[in-house]
A = this chain, B = another copy of it.
Amino acid sequence: MILKLDFASEVPIYQQIRNQIVLGVADGQLKPGERLPTIRALADEAGVNTMTVNKAYALLKSEGIIVADRRSGARVRERESVPGVSGSSTDQGKKAELKGRTVQELKLVIAEAKLTGMGKSDFLDLCAELFEDKKSLQEG
């Protein structure tokens, strides 16, 4: 898990860290149950303050993407896909919340794509490609 941070970006550092972990989990580089680096380790590696990493982890926890294991640090949350065993109601709420925000973001992205002159089929092709291609998610 190597973080590429852009300190000149207007996106806050903690948000960048959060985003990269989201990308890592989504493309399978970080697997469910896998341990994340400790806050201090990640802070040292990335050259940022521990408070910043702490904030990113707190955000990921509040989104239900990682869980804090008291004994062994933070772990990527296991996806409970066993039929009949659903997560807690608050877990469901978190997931629904993330989904709602994601749809809003998607609407804006689609609007921007239209303004760049992209057609529907172009856009769908791009989505399909990005959805499949695990590597490309983290590039750029």
Interface residues of A (CB under 8 A from B): 7-8, 12-13, 19, 22-23, 25-27, 62, 65, 67-71, 79, 81, 89-90, 93, 95-118, 120, 123-124, 126-128, 130-132, 136-137, 140
> This chain: how many copies in the complex?
4
Whether A95 and B112, one on each chain, are in contact in the complex, defined by CB atoms closer than 8 angstroms, is no
Bound-state Cα–Cα, A118 to B102, Å: 11
Task: Please indicate the chain B residues that have their CB under 8 angstroms from the CB of A67 in the complex.
Answer: 8
Within 8 Å CB of A136, what residues of B?
A: 107
- Name the B residues within 8 Å of A111 (CB-CB): 22-23, 25-27, 137
> Can you identify 22 A-B contacts, CB atoms within 8 angstroms?
A12-B70, A13-B70, A23-B107, A23-B111, A25-B111, A26-B112, A26-B114, A89-B96, A90-B100, A93-B96, A99-B113, A99-B118, A101-B112, A102-B112, A105-B109, A105-B112, A106-B113, A106-B130, A107-B140, A110-B131, A120-B132, A124-B127
